[in-house]
Structure 1
Amino acid sequence: MASPRFSKYSWLDFLFSVVGVCTYLFDVGSDIWVGTEFYSRGEFFWFGVLVGLMVLSSVVVQMFSWFWFKYDRDLEGFDSLIDRNVLFGFCGKLSLILHVFQLGFFCRHVSVIWHGFRVWWRREAGSEYAVYLTHDLSMLRLIETFCESAPQLTLMTHITLHTDSARTVQYVSVVASITSIAWMVVDYHRSLRSFLPDKAKQGWSSAFVYFLWNLLLIAPRVAAVALFSTVLPLFVAAHFLLIWPVLVFWAWRQQTDFMDSAGGEWLYRATVGLIWYFSWFNVAEGGTRKRSIIYHTFVATDGGILLVTWWFYRDPVLTQAYAPVLLAILPLTYLMGLLLKTLYYCCFHPTKWRPHVQEVGAELPDGQGVSFRTISSPTGAPCVRNKRMACHATCFYFKVEAL
């Protein structure tokens, strides 16, 4: 059973779920609007790129959702819970059809909202199961964000710089992408922290600083790639294809164990490589300080090369108004993000506000001594834990001082 030290599903969990659905629908709506605008204006190339990003993101997310659906149905005692889930309540073939038609992710949103409403408003049993669902949805949002929102933000920035103008629809797309990324950062980190004791919860000031340093690190990366693409548009794909396999290889070398099948694990490693192209994401247990330093050094060097390349190939006349400013601000912004990240772990981390709380996993061997949320059947069936998010909580919070 779930340890009493951990909080149950609350109104705040329900609120985060509702806002998450709203941001998801807003993101989808803005994508459709942008695509329609490109198509109606005859800008078929941008239309094709946008649709390609949307399709790629949707397929990847649906694959993860389907893999998890199959894994969970094989867990002992899980069948007694499927009547509570909009997605799991369907038979396997019908659920497969939903995923093939790219509706599995949306059904998970509906499942979380419906089950969360039953637990929070109607005071029904199943709080642990509601949290289980929100953990999976949080991870899927993370994947969807970096498969679509981050590349789309890069695309919209590129178009704005390339055409030296921006329409309302482009501003809407940028706002939707930034909103999706921002909400993902807060929601995902909050989901991970739910594996920790209540007294180690993250406060609002700590959450704001955490969000800010992530934003300061991601924004310069997106801007550097977008600027590079304006001068060498055919080479931006080559740049990604050169770096991405290296990042996937690094994920493999860290011996990730997130999925329950070999094919699913390679899909996860490929997705981690895509996430790393934009932002740091810890995937292995143990001290992460060295890995983080290696990653940020690599990304900072790569970003510097992209900026220098853009500077020498840019049009001096068209870019004279903003080029020197960007060349100075983007590296400084990334440096500020690194400094703020260091400040967060030194001053704003929840355990710094409550020093008597020992972080989960601190000073313990890998994989030992960590308690995780579980879900339990009202009929007394065996408990099932969310191994996926538990794995990430172990990796993320193994040692505070190493992060």
Structure 2
Amino acid sequence: MAAILCLRSLFYLIWKIFSFCFFCLDVVLDVLAVHKLYREQDYVTMWVLIFLLVASSVLVQVFSWLWYDYSPEEQADTGSLTNHVYLYLYVKNRRLLGVYHVFQMGVIVRYAGVLEIAVRNLTRRPPLKGGIAGDLRHDLSLVRLFESFTENTPQLLLTLTILARREVVDWIIGPKALLSFISIAFNVLTYHRNMRSVNKNKSQLGCFSSLVYFLWNLFLLISRVAALALCAYVLPFGMLAMGLHFLFLWPMLLFGVWRLKTNFMEHPGKEWLYRATIALIWYFNWFSPCNSRSTKRHVIYHSFIAVDVALLMLLWWYLRDSTESFLGEVPAWVVCVAVAVLYSLGIMVKVLYYRLFHPEHSDSDKSGYDERAPANLNVIEMESSSGTDESDSTPPQPTGAQRRRQKMAANFYS
């Protein structure tokens, strides 16, 4: 048993090291991309890229700072963790942590805390799984998910537009685009796995089910971003036109999020920031923001995006130069078919996943908390549909980071 726990801890440590290296490589490629655009004197594209990077970084750091929110009970749990520098920092030293976030290093400190936990679990027993350790892992996965759609995806749109304009695959921009697609789908998968690990009654994702989940996100992202990039390529002031397109759709998406009456943050102003971010994610891909049955929402959302993708491709077909081919080699009709096939394939794989692999509510899940688990560990917060009064035996409601983790798990299982 000890050997199995050690192997799991080693795998988790390797997984987190790989994720951190991926994060660092993405930052390095961002710097190289900006430098290359500067050397080529493409200043407009360079400043658009810098704006996307800075705006995303600020937004992510704001969420990271707002999610530094632990109850007195959770802080008391760190009494035995004073030797864990970064984990202890996240609970006790708010001023120093604020300095890190001002200098855009909050995500790095979060990674340091998670890696510190992973090393500790590999060298000592018992492993740290719940409490602050679990909350920190969850918040990091959600921060990285938000970063994927606020930085990587808009940047990927810009990258593909540049590639279409140059009609040649650049040695920096090409790999950067491929890395961005993989990174986004990888972060979505990591979040998915994290949510399944919250409820110990659910089996963990296997290799095949993880691959299925990864693929449907990858197919839908490629088709959506490709349609946006192709349209930006043929329109005058393409990225500005796509910015106007986003501003046209975003209020409708925000209205849809508001109609769902989300209740994730603990302050109305913070909740609206969360809703605005979800609406931004919806511009590119689906994200479940509330804990109610969502099949109808999935159908409405994907129908809406499918119509938008079709209109974008029709606009590209109408405005393109009929004498040119995409990237100098690919006929235009092949591009249209490829985008349509990828989007349709993504929908079919998604349906397959939810039919065969997505966890369903069991009777014990619907009853509320897992009574076999401590009140501050791996439990899922579900609202009772019966409308009956709570009994005296109802466990206390969670607060802070614990509440976020439980709410996101409830949303995930909707």
Do structure 1's residue 181 and structure 2's residue 187 form an aligned pair?
no
1:277 is matched with 283
Q: 1:125 to 1:194 in 2, by over 3 A?
A: closer
In structure 1, C-alpha distance between the alignment counterparts of 2:352 and 2:412, rounded to whole Å: 17
2:172 is paired with a residue whose SS is helix
2:99 is matched with 97
Higher-RCO chain (CA-CA 8 Å, sequence separation at least 6): 1
Q: 1:138 to 1:262 in 2, by over 3 A?
A: same
| Displacement of 1:369 | 4.6
| Displacement of 1:325 | 0.4
75, 79, 82: which one aligns with 1:78: 75
1:245 is matched with 251
Amino acid in structure 2 at the alignment position of 1:16: W
Q: 1:390 to 1:317 in 2, by over 3 A?
A: same
2:344 is matched with 335
Contact 1:53 1:152 in 2 (8 A): yes
2:297 is matched with 291
- More moved, 233-242 vs 125-134: 125-134
| Displacement of 1:386 | 2.2
1:161 is matched with 164
1:138 is matched with 141
Q: 1:46 to 1:359 in 2, by over 3 A?
A: same
1:324 is matched with 333
In structure 2, C-alpha distance between the alignment counterparts of 1:361 and 1:306, rounded to whole Å: 45
Contact 2:163 2:174 in 1 (8 A): no
In structure 2, C-alpha distance between the alignment counterparts of 1:18 and 1:167, rounded to whole Å: 28
Q: Deviations over 1:152-205 (max 9, x none)?
A: 111111001012123211012112212311210221110010022265211111
Q: 1:88 to 1:374 in 2, by over 3 A?
A: farther
Do structure 1's residue 308 and structure 2's residue 318 form an aligned pair?
no
1:345 is matched with 354
In structure 1, C-alpha distance between the alignment counterparts of 2:23 and 2:365, rounded to whole Å: 39
- Stretches of structure 1 that go unaligned for 5 or more consecutive residues are 1-7, 352-357, 377-381, 399-403
1:401 is matched with none
| Displacement of 1:350 | 5.9
In structure 1, C-alpha distance between the alignment counterparts of 2:320 and 2:10, rounded to whole Å: 51
Amino acid in structure 1 at the alignment position of 2:286: W
Return the TM-score normalized by structure 2: 0.84
- Stretches of structure 2 that go unaligned for 5 or more consecutive residues are 1-6, 378-396
Contact 1:218 1:278 in 2 (8 A): yes
Q: 1:14 to 1:317 in 2, by over 3 A?
A: same
In structure 1, C-alpha distance between the alignment counterparts of 2:9 and 2:126, rounded to whole Å: 12
- More moved, 44-53 vs 74-83: 74-83
1:200 is paired with a residue whose SS is coil
Amino acid in structure 1 at the alignment position of 2:225: V
Q: 1:189 to 1:107 in 2, by over 3 A?
A: same
2:388 is matched with none
- More moved, 383-392 vs 242-251: 383-392
- More moved, 336-345 vs 289-298: 336-345
Contact 1:228 1:307 in 2 (8 A): yes
369, 394, 398: which one aligns with 2:410: 394
1:255 is paired with a residue whose SS is coil
| Displacement of 1:132 | 2.2
Q: Deviations over 1:340-384 (max 9, x none)?
A: 11112223x165xxxxxx63578838xx356788657xxxxx997
Q: 1:240 to 1:370 in 2, by over 3 A?
A: farther
In structure 1, C-alpha distance between the alignment counterparts of 2:213 and 2:45, rounded to whole Å: 34
In structure 1, C-alpha distance between the alignment counterparts of 2:374 and 2:228, rounded to whole Å: 39
- More moved, 333-342 vs 120-129: 120-129
CA RMSD, Structure 1 to Structure 2 (Å): 2.5
Q: 1:77 to 1:164 in 2, by over 3 A?
A: closer
1:3 is matched with none
Contact 2:181 2:218 in 1 (8 A): no
| Displacement of 1:120 | 2.6
Return the TM-score normalized by structure 1: 0.86
Amino acid in structure 2 at the alignment position of 1:131: G
Q: 1:336 to 1:383 in 2, by over 3 A?
A: closer
| Displacement of 1:28 | 0.5
Q: Deviations over 1:54-102 (max 9, x none)?
A: 1011101100011011x22x44341552733514266222211111110
Contact 1:209 1:340 in 2 (8 A): yes
Do structure 1's residue 265 and structure 2's residue 296 form an aligned pair?
no
1:33 is matched with 32
2:383 is matched with none
Q: 1:395 to 1:116 in 2, by over 3 A?
A: same
| Structure 2 counterparts to residues 44-123 of structure 1, below 5 A | 44-69=43-68, 71-72=69-70, 74-78=71-75, 80-81=77-78, 83=82, 84-86=84-86, 87-88=89-90, 91-123=93-125
Contact 1:9 1:127 in 2 (8 A): no
In structure 2, C-alpha distance between the alignment counterparts of 1:383 and 1:300, rounded to whole Å: 39
Contact 1:138 1:188 in 2 (8 A): yes
| Displacement of 1:17 | 1.7
Q: Percent same amino acid at aligned positions?
A: 35
1:319 is paired with a residue whose SS is coil
Do structure 1's residue 209 and structure 2's residue 198 form an aligned pair?
no
Contact 2:234 2:319 in 1 (8 A): yes
Q: 1:274 to 1:120 in 2, by over 3 A?
A: same
